[in-house]
A and B are shown apart, each in its own frame.
Chain A
Amino acid sequence: KAGVTQTPRYLIKTRGQQVTLSCSPISGHRSVSWYQQTPGQGLQFLFEYFSETQRNKGNFPGRFSGRQFSNSRSEMNVSTLELGDSALYLCASSLAGAAQGYEQYFGPGTRLTVT
């Protein structure tokens, strides 16, 4: 079974631009979560989508948004990029709702560099 895939793997953008990152979960997984990893702040939760609905949101500004499609694929968008948005963006997918205690599988990440 194919793992979580993220595209693109690497991206360079300029301050003020916007960016869209894509995540394809493992087949059959309905939950997709997004995380930001930086050397200073570590791994931080951005948001989670389940059945096309945002279920949880971390403490990030409104410039960070996401959505999930009916096939469970998810995208996250960052508008008006800042230098501090340079990070590894990771998505993780899970089979179902949290109550069942399913494991979450991470993709390889998208390395975003803002210049």
Chain B
Amino acid sequence: DAKTTQPPSMDCAEGRAANLPCNHSTISGNEYVYWYRQIHSQGPQYIIHGLKNNETNEMASLIITEDRKSSTLILPHATLRDTAVYYCIVRVASTNKLIFGTGTLLAVQP
């Protein structure tokens, strides 16, 4: 079973920041949080991942709470092309096994 909980859907206005929440209250100390997104019928696209510290790359920022029980993916300036299903995943420790949940369908509105 997935170790994460995400809202099934969210809307965001184009040009605004999209903040996607994720709960992972049972995460273990050595388990990473990964974010992927999937545009219809394509392979999932890696966005960002982190262990304890907040992370930022050219696509997004990842904010992990101090207790590591939840995180937020931030897309700073959403565009229509960011419309996709976003998956928050806790990677099983010491493996490359990703357990996907149902994700959040982000709809960016013009």
B98 contacts the other chain (CB 8 A): yes
CB distance from B82 to the nearest CB of A (A): 18
* A103 partner, pick from B41, B46, B92, B102, beta carbons under 8 A: B46
A28 contacts the other chain (CB 8 A): no
A90 in contact with B44 (CB, 8 Å): yes
Q: For B94, what are the chain A residues with a Cβ–Cβ distance below 8 Å? A: 98-99
B29 contacts the other chain (CB 8 A): no
Q: For B102, what are the chain A residues with a Cβ–Cβ distance below 8 Å? A: 42
A108 in contact with B42 (CB, 8 Å): yes
Contact string, A43-64, partner B, CB cutoff 8 A, digits 1/0? 1110010100001101000000
Knowing A98-B91, A98-B95, A103-B49, the reply to whether A43 touches B100 (Cβ < 8 A) is yes
* B96 partner, pick from A44, A94, A109, A111, beta carbons under 8 A: A94
Contact string, A91-108, partner B, CB cutoff 8 A, digits 1/0? 010100111010111111
Bound Cα distance from A101 to B95, whole angstroms = 9
B49 in contact with A31 (CB, 8 Å): no
- B89-110 interface with A by 8 A CB criterion: 91-102
Bound Cα distance from A27 to B100, whole angstroms = 25
Bound Cα distance from A62 to B16, whole angstroms = 48
A33 contacts the other chain (CB 8 A): yes
A-B contact pairs, 5 of them (CB 8 A): A44-B100, A45-B97, A56-B96, A94-B96, A103-B49
Listed in ascending order, the chain B residues whose CB lies under 8 Å from chain A are: 32, 34, 36, 41-46, 49, 51, 87, 91-102
Listed in ascending order, the chain A residues whose CB lies under 8 Å from chain B are: 4, 31, 33, 35, 42-45, 48, 50, 55-56, 58, 88, 90, 92, 94, 97-99, 101, 103-109, 111
Beyond A43-B87, A103-B46: 15 further Cβ-contacts under 8 Å? A33-B96, A35-B98, A42-B100, A55-B96, A92-B43, A92-B96, A97-B96, A98-B95, A98-B96, A101-B32, A104-B34, A104-B96, A106-B43, A108-B43, A109-B41
